[in-house]
Amino acid sequence: MKKIEGPNDLKKFRQEDLEPICKELRQYIIDVVSVKGGHFGASLGVVELTVALHYIFNTPYDQLVWDVGHQAYGHKILTGRRKNFPTNRIYKGISGFPKRQESEFDTFGVGHSSTSISAALGMAVASEYKNEKDRQHIAVIGDGALTAGMAFEGLNHAGFVNSNLLVILNDNCMSIDPNVGALKEYLTDITTSHTYNKVKDEVWNLLGKLSKFGKNAQEIVSKVENGIKGTLLKQSNLFESLNFRYFGPVDGHDVVHLSKILKDLKDIPGPKILHCVTVKGKGYKPAEIDQTKWHAPGLFDKITGEIIKSVPKEPQSPKYQDVFGHTLVELAEKNSKIMGVTPAMPSGSSMNIMMKAMPERAFDVGIAEQHAVTFSAGLATQGLLPFCNIYSTFMQRAYDQVIHDVALQNLNVVFCLDRGGVAGADGPTHHGAFDIAYMRCVPNMIVSAPMNEEELRDLMYTASQKNKGPFAIRYPRGQGVMQDWKTQFKEIPVGTGRMLREGQDIAILSIGHIGNYVVDACNELEQSGVYPAHFDMRFAKPLDEKLLHQVFSKYNKVITIEDGCIIGGIGSGIVEFMTDKGYYSKVKRLGIPDRFIDHGSQLELHKECGYDTESIVRTVNKMVGSRESLKVG
């Protein structure tokens, strides 16, 4: 594999060399991910597919689009990034997802799911328009990603325009958690159906001979098709009915067979789908057995398969997601109207706690954020109270549903937005940068963020009270700050903040967990004789106007800070208040600047954006004009 700097080098090998190459590639992924972290099972599951695709197709001229992109490590390694692969997901290193700026082989930037068919179809239509008839377009999509509406929108369009598109369905029966839904049942059905498989074998026998027929290939394929249609008249194929030619199911781990099939499919024009059956985590036993855990396991001992958890000396605070999961069950035990909804993130959001405790009241609806929101709206019309948990970044997809289906009808839906703020190593596709801004401008919407576990519980409790309307609670990835977090529930009056520290020189207004940096910064500043006041706003909407009147009456220097985009965020809201009410103070807004922030640890990115503890101290010093800041410059 060391000789492979790109697909052209791969093409020099004989077919019999492909298996050993797959073995080496798989081992390299295991070697690196075990010590550097990242997504794991998905890339192992497509090693053979990746090798076969680059072996047969003329990438990057032929355009290969990976869906989600968490499975594209093999692709990165084979396309010139083998040496850089150990920097995967590390600050300033290569991205964990395909990225156009990174390589010409990364034809489309991904991270969010279910975009591949639409993107590849766009490319196919463009090729047709430019008369590039020899160009191939391939979308590789998982059975999980296929559950999203957008994937169907793509299929629907592709079957109609008849462009040259190959969809490869990587069917491993898994999303991050086990895949759910009727489509999954259907795929299992066609994979295991005896009639279907018998006919399939006949098709493959014929296809095996295809290359020999050259120009007549098309004719043969239609004969075969008619054969299938005749035999399976009653058992119609979903993809066939959408005007795709369906091939498969095939063993996605037989690299030689896959290469032969892909070669034959090159000669078949129009939309076609190849159904590959694979095993997520293939080739690494622990990952094959517990596929959810090994989706992104963190560091591990590759020999023993033990996941390495650093054992901290002191007891740790819980993750916000777990506080959410346990608190939801606690609330639901007391309030029979509460329901749980997650679009394919039971483990990631800890909704699995409620799904286990109350299976009839908590739903994984598949990778379907739009549906999750409108489904929640439907529940709410019937007097139920859904807690719809969606990562901040994925909620972007359901924005119209939030406005049109929930807010406009002022329905009681609680949106718990996990991973609000910079997400870390997943990078710009996953940062929860925009939710405060995009929620704040929606009428009827309450927008809140807790600074710690107790506030998260109290906000959830508050949101569960009667007729609050749409209520968003956003919290970050990772741990909170309280070890004893199972506090008594208290209702927080909507639109009220709290003063955490009185001060003299300047006021700092924070929202959310990031307020803990401010606490540290204020402690440090106090040592040098600077006394900022600190307010935890709790609500970005409605803003605590009483509190803001006090702030702007007393302080002519104000800093706002949020782990979210500066444009349109709470800082903007506070400045709007200031101008509307005729105050004038010098205000510095800290938050994510108006650009996309790459990947790195959360702390590295907070630093880069200028709102880690150190940066807050620096900003305060600069604004109050302390000697410290004069010294610095």
Ligand X SMILES: Cc1ncc(C[n+]2csc(CCOP(=O)(O)OP(=O)(O)O)c2C)c(N)n1
The one catalytic residue among 369, 453, 562, 604: 369
**Closest CB to ligand X belongs to which residue?**
142
Which of 400, 395, 392 is CA-nearest to residue 368?
A: 395
Which of 64, 68, 190, 329 contacts ligand X by CB under 6 A? Answer: 68
Secondary structure class of 472 (helix, strand, coil): strand
Cβ contact 339:386 at 8 Å: yes
Cβ contact 370:390 at 8 Å: no
> How many chain residues touch ligand X (CB under 6 A)?
22
Output DSSP code: residue 468: -
CB atoms within 10 A of CB 83: 10
To the query of whether residue 369 is one of the catalytic residues in this protein, the response is yes
Site string for ligand X, 84-113 (x = CB under 6 A): ----------------------------xx
Least distance in Å: CB of 69 to ligand X?
Answer: 8
Nearer to ligand X, 249 or 503 (CB): 249
Least distance in Å: CB of 112 to ligand X?
Answer: 4
Q: For residue 363, what are its two tokens?
A: 């739903």
Least distance in Å: CB of 233 to ligand X?
Answer: 30
Least distance in Å: CB of 389 to ligand X?
Answer: 12
Least distance in Å: CB of 480 to ligand X?
Answer: 23
CA–CA dist 305, 30 (Å, integer):
11
Least distance in Å: CB of 139 to ligand X?
Answer: 12
Q: How many residues does the chain have?
A: 633
Nearer to ligand X, 144 or 571 (CB): 144
CB atoms within 10 A of CB 497: 20
CA–CA dist 44, 39 (Å, integer):
10
CA–CA dist 536, 431 (Å, integer):
22
Output DSSP code: residue 79: I
Which of 143, 453, 505, 544 contacts ligand X by CB under 6 A? Answer: 143
CA–CA dist 281, 290 (Å, integer):
9
Nearer to ligand X, 184 or 534 (CB): 184
Residues whose CB falls within 8 Å of the CB of residue 532, separated by 6 or more in sequence, listed in order: 501, 503, 505, 506, 507, 508, 521, 522, 525, 559, 620
Output DSSP code: residue 315: P
Q: Is 365 in the site for ligand X (CB under 6 A)?
A: no
Q: Is 175 in the site for ligand X (CB under 6 A)?
A: yes
Q: Is 347 in the site for ligand X (CB under 6 A)?
A: no
Which residues, 546 to 585, sit near ligand X by CB under 6 A? Answer: none
Which of 280, 474, 589, 599 contacts ligand X by CB under 6 A? Answer: 280
Nearer to ligand X, 72 or 331 (CB): 72
Site string for ligand X, 388-407 (x = CB under 6 A): ------x--x----------
Which of 51, 77, 155, 176 contacts ligand X by CB under 6 A? Answer: 176
Q: Which stretch binds ligand X (CB under 6 A): 140-148, 225-233, 237-245, 263-271?
A: 140-148
CA–CA dist 318, 288 (Å, integer):
28
Q: Is 144 in the site for ligand X (CB under 6 A)?
A: yes
Radius of gyration of the chain (CA): 27
Report the Cα 35 to chain-centroid distance in Å: 23
Cβ contact 307:297 at 8 Å: yes
Q: Is 70 in the site for ligand X (CB under 6 A)?
A: yes
Alpha-carbon torsion 65, 66, 69, 74, what sign?
negative
Cβ contact 369:169 at 8 Å: no
Least distance in Å: CB of 588 to ligand X?
Answer: 34
Least distance in Å: CB of 52 to ligand X?
Answer: 16
What is the DSSP annotation of 519-537?
Answer: HHHHHHHHHTT--EEEEE-
Phi and psi of 214, rounded to 5°? Answer: 50, -115
Least distance in Å: CB of 42 to ligand X?
Answer: 4
Q: Is 252 in the site for ligand X (CB under 6 A)?
A: no
Peptide bond into 443 cis (omega under 30): no
The one catalytic residue among 99, 184, 280, 361: 280
Secondary structure class of 506 (helix, strand, coil): strand
Q: Is 184 in the site for ligand X (CB under 6 A)?
A: no
Nearer to ligand X, 88 or 172 (CB): 172
Q: Is 38 in the site for ligand X (CB under 6 A)?
A: no
Q: Is 245 in the site for ligand X (CB under 6 A)?
A: no
Secondary structure class of 61 (helix, strand, coil): coil
The one catalytic residue among 282, 397, 419, 541: 397
Q: Is 431 in the site for ligand X (CB under 6 A)?
A: no
Q: Is 366 in the site for ligand X (CB under 6 A)?
A: no
Active-site amino acid positions: 280, 369, 397
Point out which residues bind ligand X (CB under 6 A): 42, 45, 68, 70-71, 112-113, 142-145, 170, 172, 174-176, 280, 344, 367, 369, 394, 397
